[in-house]
Amino acid sequence: MKYNSHDLQMAYTEAIQFAKKHYENFPVVTFLIHRNLRKHVAIIYWFARTADDIADEGNASVENRVEQLARFEKRLQNLLNDRFTDKFDFALSETIKEHKLSHLLFFKLLKAFRSDILFTQFKSTDELLRYCDNSANPVGRLLLELHDIRDPKILALSDKICTALQLTNFYQDFKFDIQKGRNYIPLNDLASSGLNENNFTDPVLRNKLCAVMKMEIERAKKLFSEGEELLTYLPKKLRIEIAWTLLGGRKILEKIESSKCNVMKTRPSLKKIEMIGLLLKAYNYANRIS
């Protein structure tokens, strides 16, 4: 089936609506994204969220999820060769072409979602960080490519922030991931406090798990600090957007620490008033370094 400009506009409009109705820690398509780029951010979000839902939502079997994700990957391969299943594929293809987006980044995201379906415990911190390189870092790089920012040094700083955000999300959603059979704390970190994959959720050993979580939180904080230089290379509105997200990640870590790292019981989140406050802080920060 051939698609036209009307189909393209409809796909982008529906992708923006799709992004707005899905819950994330921070809004995806905000006023801080340049008007001409919002539709492109939205269609990339549609791609990532659709694949993530295949991996995580519903009650499908592991085999069925793997099969669905393989079909979705085939759609990606096809749209890169101008063969489209629907208008969303057409729109994503146009976005990739217009902004010369790296194809590999989309395949890396799918690799991460496949890892979630076929989850195996990370033995080391290096394994965890390699996972983040597929699951989180491509998102930041795609956003920078949309702004035609491709300097390797700047991309590497983005990776630091995106990995820190992914780790923060793991700690935030810890109790829910455990219910899905996924523990994103590496075994070597558990072992450092005398824990293992069989006993780390034991309430009697909560203090030991808390000690591990403090170590994990420090790792995320360090990555946030190492990546913060990214903000100095960004246009002002994008600088505010990324600063807002970074501050939000730090606030979540702060809340986890305030709960005495009781991640098996609590899931910290940001209230609307807190998000507004963080936005003001991000705005002030961006003005100071402009």
Fold of 1-118: Farnesyl Diphosphate Synthase (1.10.600)
pLDDT band for 24, please (50, 70, 90 cuts). Answer: low
pLDDT band for 25, please (50, 70, 90 cuts). Answer: low
pLDDT at residue 23 greater than cutoff 60: no
Amino acid at 35: R
pLDDT tens for residues 52-80? 999 987 788 999 999 999 999 999 999 99
Distance of CA 197 to the CA centre of its chain: 25
Fold of 120-290: Farnesyl Diphosphate Synthase (1.10.600)
Domain borders along the chain are 1-118, 120-290
Domains 1-118 and 120-290 share a fold: yes
Give me the pLDDT at residue 26, please: 62
